[in-house]
Amino acid sequence: MTREQVAGLGPAVSPLLKIHGCWSDPPGTVWAASQVTTEPIKTRIEECGAWLTNRLLNRDIVIVGYWTDWDYLNEVLEMSLNAVAPSRVIVVDPCETGSFAAKAPALFELGQRATEEFLHVCSSGDLFLEKLRMSFSRAFVRRILHAGVATYTAQAGTGPDNTWLNPSSTDADVLWRIRRDLEGRNPNEPAKARAPIEEPLLGMTLLQLQARGAIAEGSYWNLNGQRIRVLRTSNRPLHEVEAVFARETPPVVAPEYVIAVGAEALPLPANIARGSGTGSIARGSSGRWLSRKDAVEELEL
């Protein structure tokens, strides 16, 4: 995106500003050092730098990885950030902290301008991002669980076990799939919410499953040998949700139950033409789809 495009976005949107250009626009991409000081790249760098100076004022900046192979790309970064005054700067790079100032003088100078803190994390970028994704997803799921505590307590007459309030998985991919389900994403949609919509019944359902003895098994719950998937499906007919997910998971790996929290069970099949026939590898899951009300009765939550 260009400076003009990102400037028109709302404050809640996180834009992807590629100052050095993108492969989809070869003429506008920085391929050589000479482009940095010639038009149109020169003006774009200056304009983006001015926008970043305002956008990143008193913000936290995380820079993951720092390369030394392409000096002209480093120059683009340095020119764009030379007037930025951040609150906190975190640079992730496996080099020794003592040699960082010599290796990346511009980033070191940026860190010195931080009003709160300057941190060098001695780690590879992929390991850092893996832990960051895991920590973010765990915090996301934890908030959903805590949102159901008051409702669960009022219903059960006692509070949930503290161990139920923290997700057990530490696998970033598994946690990402759980987030997708708890955000209410359709198949092939990514998890993208910064914070969950705190719906007590969603958290309560997860707590009730654990109270019945369910244990986490990947992105599902295992209750007495039956795998259960929990989806957030607010204000949607159950048969329509089932139809949307019909081709997502082959029966051989599909859960036995899917609890669609927020969906309403209407007396209609998922597919009017096909009816409610047996699933197949081509057509997807033949597991039982339940509204929360039906799940409470059938699974004795």
- pLDDT-above-70 percentage for the chain: 90
What tens digit of pLDDT does each residue of 221-249 get? 999 999 999 999 988 999 999 999 988 87
For 78, other C-beta atoms within 10 Å of its C-beta total: 18
Across 87-101, 193-207, 267-281, the highest mean pLDDT is recorded for 193-207
Instruction: Report domain extents, the chain.
Output: 3-123, 127-298
Q: Which of 243, 242, 142, 151 is nearest to 195 (CA)?
A: 142
Give the span between the Cα atoms of 294 and 259, in whole angstroms.
9
pTM of the model: 0.81
Q: What's the pLDDT score for residue 275?
A: 46
Q: What's the pLDDT score for residue 285?
A: 47
- pLDDT-above-90 percentage for the chain: 52
CA distances from residue 161 to 51, 222, 261, 301 in whole angstroms, order as listed: 49, 18, 22, 15
Backbone angles phi, psi at 97, to 5 degrees: -60, -35
Q: How confident is the model at residue 268 (pLDDT cuts 50, 70, 90)?
A: low
- The one-letter code for the residue type at 286 is S
Bond from prior residue into 269 cis (ω within 30 degrees of 0) = no
What tens digit of pLDDT does each residue of 38-55 get? 888 888 888 888 888 888
What tens digit of pLDDT does each residue of 150-181 get? 999 999 999 999 999 999 999 999 999 999 99
Give just the sign of the alpha carbon dihedral 55, 57, 59, 63. Answer: positive
